[in-house]
Amino acid sequence: MYTETTRIGPKSGLQLAEYAEPRHKPTSKRSVFPFHCLVVDDEQRNRHLVTRMIEALGHKADKADNFDHAISKFAANGHNLVLTDLDMPYLDGYALAVSIKKTFRDAKIVIMTGRCQAEVSHLMSTGTVDAWLFKPFSLDELYKVLDALKSPDESKSADRKEKRRGNIQ
């Protein structure tokens, strides 16, 4: 597992080792609607870490290292969520988001970036992307973003299941 201070970013100097539980620990491993996620980043280290974070939250994750690999994997494997880096060679994460949303309107897209919010505000205002994560980000921040992406029907269903288990008042 990961601590709330586990950060991902180009200067984080991350070591993949043993980590503590996240501060906002889910009541069950699958308390957030289970996503089948495609993690897209040209940096192998970031792909690996984000994949481990996704899996630690109880979701399935696959990896791709560029636009072309992401498009072919997304179409072939039934993913319902893409976490992509914004800045990649050739075609960037925003171009990937636009391409996927043209065909799969219900797909959820999260862009990860090391840029500041002011630099990407023009992209954020288009509504193409469902959420943004600014590097470095923690497991808690990732959990909150994924929790916010579940649909109202999924949220109600998860709440009913938790009530039956006695985890929600």
Segments making up each domain of the chain, as ranges: 36-165
pTM: predicted TM-score of the whole model, two decimal places: 0.74
Greatest mean pLDDT among 13-27, 28-42, 64-78: 64-78
CB 35 within 8 A of CB 146: yes
Ranges 26-30, 41-45, 50-54: which has the least confidence: 26-30
The DSSP call for residue 57 is T
- Kindly give the residue spans of alpha helices, DSSP state H, lying in the chain: 44-56, 67-77, 93-103, 117-124, 139-149, 152-165
At residue 150, the pLDDT reads 84
End-to-end CA gap in the chain: 27
Length of the chain: 169
Pick 36-165's CATH classification: 3.30.300.30, 3.40.50.2300, 3.40.720.10, 1.25.40.10: 3.40.50.2300
Copy the structure tokens of residue 84: 């992509």
At residue 153, the pLDDT reads 58
Ranges 33-37, 69-73, 133-137, 138-142: which has the least confidence: 33-37
Dist CA 147 CA 32 (whole Å)? 5
**pLDDT tens-digit readout, 101-114:** 999 999 999 999 99
At residue 102, the pLDDT reads 94
At residue 18, the pLDDT reads 33
C-alpha 36, offset from chain centre: 10
CB 15 within 8 A of CB 48: no
Dist CA 63 CA 25 (whole Å)? 25
CB 144 within 8 A of CB 24: yes
At residue 139, the pLDDT reads 96
In the block, residue with structure tokens 């109600």: 156
At residue 75, the pLDDT reads 86
Question: Quick check: bond before 136 cis, omega within 30?
Answer: yes
**pLDDT tens-digit readout, 127-167:** 999 999 999 999 999 999 999 998 665 444 444 444 444 44
